[in-house]
Amino acid sequence: MRSIMQLEKACCFGIIAVSLVFASPTSADWKAYFGATKEQQQKLEAANKAKNESIKPLRQQKDDQIELLRQKVNATASDNDIQTAFRAVRSSEKAIQDAENGYWDTVAGFLTPMQQAKLFLRGHPKK
């Protein structure tokens, strides 16, 4: 089971890495489409860096908590232990969402609504 999950993560990472290469904010096509000024681009790069630095440890914490929850479920732990572990996962998810919301609040301060929408849609490709 664990190897399947690792494969899923690797596949997802590969897809993300490929999409970042083809839609890199530094590529000429993206710059033309996005229409950011140099100042906006610098602010966006700083906001992205700050977001990634704040979210990375939260995601690791959440992954660790999910693994702990999985172990408790597999060990048929008490309801109280499972509830505590599950609440920790949910709390981590909320912290990640709060960090994401803070990022969008930040970029709203220097991007136009059209640029914000384009940035959002970049992370949500058409199916």
What pLDDT does 26 receive? 58
- pLDDT tens, position by position, 4-46: 545 455 444 444 443 443 455 557 787 788 899 999 999 999 9
Percent above pLDDT 90 for the chain: 67
Tell me, letter by letter, the H, E, C secondary structure of 21-61.
Answer: HHCCCCCHHHHHHHCCCHHHHHHHHHHHHHHHHHHHHHHHH
> What's the mean per-residue pLDDT of the chain?
85
- Check whether domain 39-127 has CATH 1.20.58, yes or no: yes
What pLDDT does 24 receive? 54
Q: Write down the pTM of the prediction.
A: 0.72
